[in-house]
Amino acid sequence: MISVPSLEEIQSLEEALHRPEIRRSREDVETLLAEGFVEFGASGSVYDRTTIIDLLAQESGTDEGELRTANYALKPISNDAVLLTYETERSYHDGSKRCVLRSSVWKYDGLKWQMFFHQGTVRS
């Protein structure tokens, strides 16, 4: 039986995907995202693993504004999977803000934890 990871461990993996230097590294993102990964984006679009890896690798280095995260919670959902939920708030240079509720399923592959599913829902 696999021991449940700590909130800090999974939060650290999740937050790695927030960092531009990780997001633009195809190798790093491939390590973090499981085969079969799917994302339901805050935009309403659905992305598969290959598409997300390609999109992140092409991101520009421009500053998109400050990202704040809060209210992390971790719940086991099976012997080898956990659900991470949290909120983000991005503040843009024009003074606008975008708040998103986020959830990620992290799955243990026998060696490491990888994100299997992610969803962002814009909060109005």
Q: Give the mean pLDDT of 3-15.
A: 94
Question: In the prediction, which pLDDT does 106 show?
Answer: 98
Question: In the prediction, which pLDDT does 61 show?
Answer: 61
Question: In the prediction, which pLDDT does 52 show?
Answer: 95
Mean pLDDT of the chain: 92
Per residue in 41-77, pLDDT (tens digit) is 988 899 999 999 999 999 876 656 788 999 999 999 9
Architecture of domain 7-123: Roll (3.10)
Question: In the prediction, which pLDDT does 105 show?
Answer: 98
Distance CA 28, CA 23 (A): 8
Regarding predicted confidence, which is higher, 4 or 11?
11
Residue 82 above 90 pLDDT?
yes
Please state, for a pLDDT cut of 70, what percent of the chain lies above it: 95
Question: In the prediction, which pLDDT does 4 show?
Answer: 83
Question: In the prediction, which pLDDT does 123 show?
Answer: 87
- Shortest CA distance to 67 belongs to which of 37, 35, 43, 89? 89
Distances in whole angstroms, Cα of residue 20 to Cα of each of 28, 62, 65: 11, 10, 12
Regarding predicted confidence, which is higher, 91 or 108?
108
